[in-house]
Amino acid sequence: MAMVNPGAIIRFIKDYQLVNRSGYFERDFYLKAYPFVAGSGNNPITDYLLRGWKEGRDPGLLFNSREYLDMSPDVREAGLNPLVHYLRFGKQEGRKITRSWVREDGQIPTSKPAESELSDVEWTKLRFHERFNYPLDVKRPQTFNEKLNVYKMYYREKPLWQYVDKYLAKDYVKQKIGAEYLVPSLGAFTEVDDIQLEQLPDQFVLKATHGSGWNIFCRDKSQLDWQKCRDEMRGWLSDNLYLHFREWPYNNITPRILVEPLLQDPSGKLPNDYKFFCYNGEVKYVYEVSERETAYYLDFYDMDWNWLPIRFGYPNNPHKSTKPRQFDEMVRIAGELSRGFPFVRVDLYASPKIYFGELTFYPQAGFIEITPREWDIRLGQDFRMDFLRAQNRASSQ
């Protein structure tokens, strides 16, 4: 009778625990890709640790076992499990990993899928890992960024393109809170050549209805380089924001150029932009964007206008502002517009009249580092993932 090596058992248990909690081993992925493992009744992690890696099996979307060994001949020669080595040593050593060829549905192609061939789920998981250097926990997301990306991948309960389209969103706002909160439309055009500059006022804004940050602010029509503007707008109309970050609602929008009057505050600057974080109708936080034409400062506040020490991709304004006198009314409006959505950011201006800006379901596409990290977690605490229950049930069947 063969003797059991206690040291080998202890090492195996430690390897198992390391792989199990790493996020790089995806049980559903493994069983779909290698159904004979499921048929054998073997534990999938045990299968990978004992024989799977030796036979070229991948533990999940993010890790290619064969390619790691090809890039690390010392690991191959030592006969070490590639994922265990990466988790224990390789990551700290800066060793590279590559994605599996296996698709999320378990299909194994004969060549590596191109970027354009990746599904939204595959693409998002890979980009999240590249951005934050850890796997996205789809079943138990905790941080705001994690939840935004899961929201982007799986929430399909409402036709969100109707709300992110800056043209169609005006109908929603009119029905919910009234037309008096809408910036008047001077026109909406699917062709740049249909925009007649001579028919526009001296000051106006040109914005793409299907994108983010695609704006031209005109303060003096006589000084405008109209040909340059036309070229820029043609670029907008030919672009699909969905392809940049896989935000699926943007794939269903008819590209238009929306023309509106230029909003200005009493000093003649662009008004501050107040962006409310709303969770199913409950407004919890707001960030104020100030000095939009120059420094572009971003500051978070709670509902009592206490400044919060959060960095969200842009610097804080060294001079903290006072609570706007229309704040309570803006909170009420944001609550009305956000009801029924697990999360949406409602953007409003006060110039000094309150105007609706836009609805955003995935701020910064879920890829902006939020510091300190505790605020990435706190901003996600009120973000309920009830829609995930059906998804998790389906994936476990």
Domain ranges of the chain: 16-113, 161-181+267-360, 184-262
Which CA distances in Å does 47 have to 56, 78, 93? 12, 20, 27
Secondary structure string (H, E, C) spanning 360-389: ECCHHHHCCCCECHHHHHHHHCCCCCCCHH
Q: Residue 395's pLDDT is what?
A: 54
- Select from 161, 381, 174, 336 the least CA-distant residue to 256: 161
pTM for the full predicted model: 0.92
Q: Residue 334 has what pLDDT?
A: 98
pLDDT at residue 8 in the model: 86
Which residues on neighbouring strands pair with residue 290, listed in sequence order? Answer: 297
Among 76, 77, 51, residue whose Cα is nearest residue 66: 76
Residues with Cβ < 8 Å from 378, sequence gap 6 or more?
none
Q: How do strand 344-350 and strand 354-360 relate by DSSP bridges?
A: antiparallel
> Which CATH code for domain 161-181+267-360?
3.30.470
pLDDT for res 1: 45
3-state helix, strand, coil in the chain (%, to 5): 45, 15, 45
Kindly write down the DSSP assignment for every residue of 70-114, as one continuous string.
Answer: HH-HHHHHTT--HHHHIIIIIHHHT------S--TTS---SSPPP
pLDDT (0 to 100) of residue 352: 86
pLDDT attached to residue 10:
93
Cis? peptide before 372, omega within 30° of 0: yes
How many other β-carbons are positioned within 10 Å of the β-carbon of residue 106? Answer: 14
Residue ranges of the chain whose pLDDT lies below 50:
1
Rounded Cα–Cα distance for residues 190 and 10 (Å): 66
- Nearest Cα to 160, choosing from 277, 281, 253, 278? 253
What residue has token string 């625990």? 17
For residue 395, count other CB atoms closer than 10 A to its CB: 15
pLDDT of residue 351: 84
Q: Which two tokens stand for residue 246?
A: 């896989």
The CA angle 273-163-208, to the nearest 5 degrees, is 65
